Structure 1
Amino acid sequence: MLLSQLPEDVLYHILSYLDYTSLSRLSQVCKTIYHFVNRDAVWRKIAKEFLNTGITRNGTDIYPSIPLKERVKAAQNWYDGVCKRAIPLKWKTKLLPWLQLDGDTLFLSQAADIGAHHLRQDSGKLQRNPFEIYSGHTGDVCRFVVTDSHLVSGGSDGRILVHSRRGDMLVELSGHNQEVNCLDSKDGLVISGSRDRTARIWTLTSGCPRDTIPMYDRVWSVAISPTLRTFVTGTACCENFSPLRIWDVERSECVCSLGSEFRRGAGVLDMVFESPFQLFTCSYDTFIRLWDLRLSPRKCVMAWEEPHDSALYCIQTDGNHMIASGSSYYGVVRLWDKRQTECLQFFQLSSHPVSSPVYCLRFNSSHLYAALATSLHSLDFRQNHVCIR
């Protein structure tokens, strides 16, 4: 009996023992085997072990429209650091830009405005002119969040503006008297943090805060839990308490503090929930930390240290094995494999004497975009690799 004549379930079982190189070679045997091997079901097990294939730890597929074989091909390039670099946008004035990536749209803040740029599906190239501009702030935009229906932004003017995705300004949330350093929004809930040492809880339907929480320290980062029951604040760590605290949304009360090993000034600059029980944070003290919120007491279960003693400004994870971080010197982006303690790859995007932090980074299965003080950088990982043809 020919291999192609075996029952499909038997053939799937046989192929489950092959690695990606063997599968690629097998696909060249004949057209029948080629079409069978290219099915996503064949590559799914392998894809879960690679970096940034869009298969999360719980099995969710983030990019179902892209064949898994193509994503595994790009994933090998992420692991090896094989990419094509470009600078799609530059500007003359030094800014503190922020990014959000939503499908084929990249949102970029520049001074008081936020532009929505199309990304070409075939190449990932950015269209220089935005197709939509979100404006209204009288100062620079510090942070913004894009949801399915809204864009919520906080500025140095102390205001929070809510726009529809079409660009119409819907409501202004007023209450902070200094710049809004951070905010998060999920399912109509908005949490903001400010230099005025308060965190505020809002709803999109009201212009006034539902609750104001004294923080006694500047708030640099916030994140709402996927359960919507709690949120986490990260402060500047200039006072005698942990910069990381978990709060109950309904009662506006502190549930607990995370960690006691932070040194003074080790403020938490960015954080991301990967699940209701897994929180990643990065801070001035050069560490990325993974917190397990199921444990009692809740504690850090793993940490990765930036090897050049640079503060970490931003992080993003792929929901499985990869972390990307942006540091404060020379625009350094690092890729980390959570299964290892050492940095996997790094990319220096600025050079002496022009040194800039990576203020924000975002990635999909094929590209990484990083915002520096005077430019937007793009790393394209869809280059051909010798192992998969």
Structure 2
Amino acid sequence: MLLAQLPEDLLYHILSYLDYRSLSRLSQVCKSFYCFVNRDAVWRRIAKEFLNTGITREGKDIYPLIRLKERVKIAQNWYNGICKRAIPLKWKIKLLPWLQLDGDILFLSQAADIRMYHLHKDSGRLHHSPYEIYSGHKGDVCRFALTDSLLISGGSDGKILVHSRRNDVPVEFTGHNQEVNCVDAKDGLIISGSRDRTARIWTLTSTSPRDTIPMYDRVWSVAISPTLSSFVTGTACCVNFSPLRIWDVERSACLGSLGSEFRRGAGVLDIMYESPFQLFTCGYDTFIRLWDLRLSPRKCAMEWEEPHDSSLYCIQTDGNHMIASGSSYYGVVRLWDKRQTECLQFFQLSSDPVSSPVYCLRFNSSHLYAALATALHSLDFRQNPAHVR
């Protein structure tokens, strides 16, 4: 019996012993093998081991419309740092921009506005002009969050604006008396943190806060748990307690702190949940930390140190093995493999004598976008590597 005549389940089992190079060579043998090997089922196991293929540790596929073989090809470039750089947007005034990606739409804050840009599906490039502009703040937008239908922004004017993504007139939420440094939103729940040393809990049914929590320190970052039962705050660490604390949403009560050995001033600038039990943080102390909330007491499970002693302004993960971080000097973006302690790749985006931090970065399967003080940078990882065709 010829190999191609074997039952499909047996053929799948045989191909599971092959690496990506062997699979790629096999797909070039004949048309029937090409069609069979290109199936996602053949590449799923391999894709789980690569960086940023869109397959999470739970097996969820983030990019189902892109073939897994193609994503494995691109993943090699992420690992090897092979990309094409571009600067799709520039502006003259130095800003503290923030980014969000939603499919083929990129949202970018510039001063008091948030601009929505469409990305070309084939190239990942931005359309030159914004498709929508969301405005209403009397000062700069500090942070914003997206839901399926809403855009929620916090500004230096102390206001929180809830915009419909259809760009109707925004609803103004008032309560903070200083700039809103951070905001997160999920399923009608909004958490904000401010320089006024409070965190506030909001719902969409009222423009006044449901609860106000005294923090006794400036709040730099917040993140709502995927379960919606709790949230985490990151403060400036200028008082004698941990800058990371977990709060119960319903009771507004502190459920505990994370870590106890932060040096004074080691504020937490970015927080993200990867799962209900895993939390990533970064900040002024130059470390990325992974916290396992299942441990008792809750403690740091792993950490990665920025090698040039730079503060870390932002992080994002692919839900599996990759972390991307933005540093405070020379616009440095670093890629990390969670299975290693050393930095995997780094990209210096700015060569200006007065360097800019990477204030925010976001990526999809093929592109990374990074916002610096005067420009938006993009890295395109879709170059064809030698081993997969």
2:87 maps to a residue whose letter is I
Alignment of 1:130-149 (within 5 A): 130-149=130-149
Counterpart position of 2:125? 125
Measure how far apart 1:3 and its partner are. 1.2
Indicate the SS of the match to 1:377. Answer: strand
Counterpart position of 1:294? 294
Indicate the SS of the match to 1:127. Answer: coil
Indicate the SS of the match to 1:344. Answer: strand
Alignment of 1:192-271 (within 5 A): 192-271=192-271
Counterpart position of 1:22? 22
Structure 1, residues 40-88: CA drift from partner, whole Å, max 9, x if none?
0000000000000000010000000000000000000000000000000
Task: Give the conservation status (yes or no) of the 8 Å contact 1:161–1:169.
Answer: no
Alignment of 1:163-202 (within 5 A): 163-202=163-202
2:164 maps to a residue whose letter is S
Measure how far apart 1:169 and its partner are. 2.8
Alignment of 1:155-170 (within 5 A): 155-170=155-170
Counterpart position of 1:154? 154
Measure how far apart 1:205 and its partner are. 2.0
Indicate the SS of the match to 1:223. Answer: strand
Structure 1, residues 230-280: CA drift from partner, whole Å, max 9, x if none?
000000000000000000000000000000111000000001000000000
2:4 maps to a residue whose letter is S
For 1:328 and 1:146, how far apart are their aligned partners in 2?
25
Task: Give the conservation status (yes or no) of the 8 Å contact 2:231–2:246.
Answer: yes
Measure how far apart 1:2 and its partner are. 1.4
Counterpart position of 2:371? 371
Task: Give the conservation status (yes or no) of the 8 Å contact 2:175–2:209.
Answer: yes
2:209 maps to a residue whose letter is P
- Which segment is superposed worse, 162-171 or 215-224? 162-171
- Say whether 1:283 aligns with 2:283: yes
Measure how far apart 1:354 and its partner are. 3.5
2:314 maps to a residue whose letter is C
Structure 1, residues 9-33: CA drift from partner, whole Å, max 9, x if none?
0000000000000000000000000
Counterpart position of 2:2? 2
Counterpart position of 2:72? 72
Indicate the SS of the match to 1:250. Answer: coil
Task: Give the conservation status (yes or no) of the 8 Å contact 1:362–1:370.
Answer: yes
Measure how far apart 1:321 and its partner are. 0.2
Measure how far apart 1:168 and its partner are. 1.1
Measure how far apart 1:143 and its partner are. 0.1
User: Identity of counterpart residues, as a percentage?
Assistant: 84
Change (3 A) 1:352 1:90: closer
Counterpart position of 2:306? 306
1:17 maps to a residue whose letter is Y
Task: Give the conservation status (yes or no) of the 8 Å contact 1:291–1:300.
Answer: yes
For 1:252 and 1:126, how far apart are their aligned partners in 2?
41
Structure 1, residues 72-116: CA drift from partner, whole Å, max 9, x if none?
000000000000000000000000000000000000000000000
Measure how far apart 1:171 and its partner are. 1.4
Indicate the SS of the match to 1:48. Answer: helix
Measure how far apart 1:170 and its partner are. 3.8
Measure how far apart 1:128 and its partner are. 1.8
Indicate the SS of the match to 1:25. Answer: helix
Alignment of 1:278-357 (within 5 A): 278-357=278-357
Measure how far apart 1:351 and its partner are. 1.1
Indicate the SS of the match to 2:357. Answer: coil
- Count matched residues: 389
Task: Give the conservation status (yes or no) of the 8 Å contact 1:100–1:362.
Answer: yes
- Say whether 1:35 aligns with 2:25: no
For 1:146 and 1:346, how far apart are their aligned partners in 2?
28
For 1:342 and 1:189, how far apart are their aligned partners in 2?
37
Root-mean-square deviation (Å): 0.5
2:100 maps to a residue whose letter is Q
Q: Which runs of no fewer than 5 residues in structure 2 stay unpaired?
A: none
1:224 maps to a residue whose letter is I
Measure how far apart 1:121 and its partner are. 0.5
Structure 1, residues 170-189: CA drift from partner, whole Å, max 9, x if none?
41110000000001000000
Task: Give the conservation status (yes or no) of the 8 Å contact 2:145–2:184.
Answer: yes
For 2:150 and 2:2, how far apart are their aligned partners in 1?
56
Indicate the SS of the match to 2:14. Answer: helix
Task: Give the conservation status (yes or no) of the 8 Å contact 2:370–2:377.
Answer: yes
Task: Give the conservation status (yes or no) of the 8 Å contact 2:136–2:170.
Answer: no
For 1:52 and 1:271, how far apart are their aligned partners in 2?
20
Measure how far apart 1:352 and its partner are. 3.8
Measure how far apart 1:204 and its partner are. 1.5
